[in-house]
Amino acid sequence: MRGEGQVPFRAASFSPRHRPWSGAATLAVFLLAWQIGSSIGAIPDLFLPSPFAVARALWRHALSGDLWTNLLASLLRLAVGWTLGTVIGISVGIAVGMFTLLRSPALALVSALFPIPKIALVPLFIIWFGIGEGSKYATLAIGVFFPTVISTYSGLDNVQRNLVTMGQSFNLSDWSIVRKIMLPGALPSVLAGFRITISVAIILLVAAEMIGADSGIGAFILAAGNLYRTDDLIAGVVILSLLGLTLSALLTRIEQAAFAWR
């Protein structure tokens, strides 16, 4: 440590930043490499169809209309099942978050039932709710229900106690405290839970449609797989991925609008 010189800057790195364009570029390079691999014959077509072949399959099914029929059937199941699970889940989550009497019993049930893979129960749901739409709705709703309960009550648990005390010190009614302090305070956690439950719902949707359905993206993928139409199979998977991306982007928008105050 002798001599003199400029003091080196040492506080670099450990602060990753977000660069959307490099994310898009990564996907593009990935697709390009995949296409080149297929074009030069390094990747056999049956083994993994080229992106171009997948796009062609998508286009074919879009034109014939069966893509839309299947997508619509899946979207409807997703909407009904997810909404059902979310509404019931939030209600139970609020009850658990508010009432001592319900807390331990409900949490015991949630802890016991949450880890069960819902896919394993699909045959049972078919016996209970029929082979039709009922069993699909039930599968999704139950899968969505548990994470929603957990995100709701933990959101309520994390509402700052001092805000609740403030409300009480101003003699706000219990109902006002719930509506104006507890629920808005829990909302960030509830919306973060939506991110998880949307993915869960998509996974369960496909599983349910593979076990007992003649329409929907899951049935489409299963049929393609049975016939070794791998281009159709990948096309179905691409649809699922796009569905997840779209819903996640939608949620980001909602969060930005709801949390302008952050």
Applying CB under 8 A, the residues found at the interface with other proteins are 162-163, 165-173, 176, 180-181, 184, 259-262
- 163/203 with CB nearer other proteins: 163
d(CA 57, CA 71): 15
Minimum CB distance to other proteins, residue 73 (Å): 39
- The alpha-carbon radius of gyration of the chain (Å, integer) is 24
d(CA 176, CA 185): 13
- 15/162 with CB nearer other proteins: 162
- 130/184 with CB nearer other proteins: 184
Minimum CB distance to other proteins, residue 183 (Å): 11
Give the dihedral of Cα atoms 84, 86, 90, 96; nearest 10 deg.
90
Minimum CB distance to other proteins, residue 256 (Å): 14
d(CA 262, CA 257): 10
- 182/234 with CB nearer other proteins: 182
Minimum CB distance to other proteins, residue 178 (Å): 13
Minimum CB distance to other proteins, residue 157 (Å): 17
d(CA 113, CA 172): 37
Minimum CB distance to other proteins, residue 259 (Å): 8
* Lookup: tokens for 256: 């930005």
CB environment 31-41: b (16+ within 10 A), e (fewer): eeebbeebeee
Alpha helices in 114-229 (DSSP H): 118-129, 133-157, 161-169, 174-177, 183-211, 217-226
- 144/181 with CB nearer other proteins: 181
For residue 215, the tally of other CB atoms under 10 A from its CB is 17
Minimum CB distance to other proteins, residue 169 (Å): 5
- 57/183 with CB nearer other proteins: 183
Name the burial class of residue 69, with classes exposed (0-12), middle (13-18) and buried (19+) by CB atoms within 10 angstroms of its CB.
Answer: middle
Query: What is residue 131's three-state secondary structure?
Result: coil
* Lookup: tokens for 127: 């016996």
- 180/229 with CB nearer other proteins: 180
